[in-house]
Structure 1
């Protein structure tokens, strides 16, 4: 028994030293990233201890969302509900992606349609991020509900969400000295608060375009499978139009209620843009939309959104609109009389 107690004490001391070492190392890296991201000015950010995260999450008991590279937990701290993002320590690039996420999230948190960064924990080997809580979860679960219980989202709500998170992307592209490319826009990176206001999240793969340049050349293409822009996938060249392609894929999903890869009439894999191209709107739109009261009168709006989604996913980046133009077009569609 005494040996067990001694071993436990040694383990506790070792863990405490490891957390202290991680705090010092990560603290310098995070400060450097924040200063670089925020034009030389340090961003005021709250730091949480690992013990505070354990207490806030009841020992990481409630998982909100799990991705390939991280897990998002629900927590409560000082009467406020928060979400805690823990990166997978087995991923060799996790520290770099976590630092990028912190830097861009801090910079973009002022926008109402970006998930607000509250703080971070530096005591974990990979810095953990603490965000505001989005009560209604990821957009993915609100659109794809065929196997879940729930009420389909109404078309006007879908259209409003599409416009609002498009505005967040346009903000990233235009509001900063060095345009920010999100590079991984997808349903699971759009969270909804209690009022279904969308919050763009996860800047792990984001890049900033250098001054005087129009693109960044990367050695490793990162993103999510079928969402990745073909030009980016084949050349490693990332531009603002890379985000436009990703956005177009999400817009088509919102319209059709379909995944990005589906089976065509010959039972072969087919991309969503190819599936909906040259088909009439009533064949491809989510049936739940047409079943709404007045759904038959929505056809002009639905057709306009389809055309916008297809333009955003054109192979040639020059044909795709800018995100500023996308937001303008969505506002026009929203105001149109169905």
Structure 2
């Protein structure tokens, strides 16, 4: 078996350009996206606002007067309704924002203009808005396959469970969306609230991140103490974010690690129906991260063991790196995208890890380890000798 040292040290990460360049990725990658050469500048007002202005009457008509039967879901900022625009026949998702938590008549359209400039295949497209009196609504493209949470834990999971490669494609697409926000926008955007219910799926089960930048529409956040205005969902938030409210892009990496763990295990992030020691998904997984031979046992039972064991081990290793308690020990999203791009491709053979694309080998340094348990222990001890709290590399096995 091989021993994978997953990512570079914090020092090497600091020296990297943090550019998330996608040009080196394999042409077989399922998501065809080439990011712009320059960062998209979101500062200042955009004269060519792409978001369309709707009247309240138009949106009320599209949602049948916001009837309960049209409700798609409800989040922290208000309910979301399925609607059909009468002018074009386009099916949309209309989010009706809380009247007490939105910007004024001048600021709201300007902020929506900023958000409308976020264009990426893995972000839900903002179509338009309504600022009618004290009413504030946002109009998004409709995502017919619902959320990732629906497919992993809802009724869709039992009907037709997501296959392994599909799960890795979803993980890679979500990672690319985060990479775009962290690297390709100026100033960088921190998602804050990544979770499986915010990862929406289109007809082909391509993932798109929803509710980007909604915190910017709440005028109260700038007046709150840092800790009070922390957003996020329990179980998904990075430890340092939960403690202090201090927010950096690397906090999103932790949340992504939780979503990846959900994709691997099919477990809820918090599940009070399980034994106490298994109720918190991350707490349950942490001890197993040091038992590489147990990685396949973490797999969602609905997969029925239909996955390449080597790929499973690598996916668990990536999740473990993202879920490091120390923020400095986590990889950048560009590193995560690079690693997941290989796992998201369907492979009919059992190729050796040495056949990974060169860009991945530059991040995943392969070291030869013997098959006996003593050498495995030596690998663990080697980590301890160097102080694992100050390193971003950790030893995971690939069989």
**Per-residue deviation at 1:225?**
1.5
Map of 1:67 onto structure 2 = 75
Q: TM-score, normalised by structure 1?
A: 0.77
How far the C-alpha of 1:245 sits from its partner, in A, is: 0.6
Q: Deviating runs (4+, > 6 A) in structure 1?
A: 96-101
- How far apart are the structure 1 equivalents of 2:136 and 2:323? 35
Aligned equivalent of 1:245 = 254
Q: Which moved more, 1:271-280 or 1:59-68?
A: 271-280
Instruction: Give TM-score, length-normalised by structure 2.
Output: 0.66
How far apart, in 1, do the equivalents of 2:330 and 2:133 lie? 42
Does residue 206 of structure 2 align to residue 197 of structure 1?
A: yes
8 Å Cα contact 1:57/1:76 also seen in 2: yes
Runs of 5+ consecutive residues of structure 2 not aligned to the other structure? 1-40, 217-224, 289-293, 351-399
1:274 is displaced (CA, Å) by 2.3
Give the 3-state SS of the residue equivalent to 2:166 in structure 1. helix
Matches within 5 A, 1:168-317: 168-204=177-213, 219-262=228-271, 267-268=276-277, 270-279=279-288, 280-291=294-305, 295=306, 298-317=308-327
Q: Distance in 2 between matches of 1:56 and 1:118?
A: 14
Q: Deviations over 1:148-198 (max 9, x none)?
A: 752111111111011011101000011122111010001111111111111
What secondary structure is seen at the aligned counterpart in 1 of 2:185? coil
CA contact (8 A) 1:95 1:126 kept: no
5+ residue gaps, structure 1 = 1-35, 208-215
Evaluate the alpha carbon distance shift between residue 98 and residue 264 of structure 1 in structure 2; reply closer, same or farther with a 3 A threshold. Answer: farther
1:56 corresponds, among 53, 62, 65, to: 62
Q: Which has the higher contact order (CA 8 A, sep 6+)?
A: 2
What number of residue pairs does the alignment pair up? 288
1:102 pairs, out of 112, 118, 133, with 112
User: Is the CA contact 1:98–1:126 (under 8 Å) kept in the aligned structure 2?
Assistant: no
TM-superposed deviation, 1:47:
0.7
| SS of match in other structure, 1:300 | helix
Quick one: structure 1 residues 147 and 330, their matched pair in 2 at CA, closer, same or farther if it must change by over 3 Å?
Answer: closer
Measured after TM superposition, the shift of residue 100 of structure 1 is 9.5
Alignment match, 1:131: 140
* Alpha-carbon offset, residue 307 of structure 1: 1.1
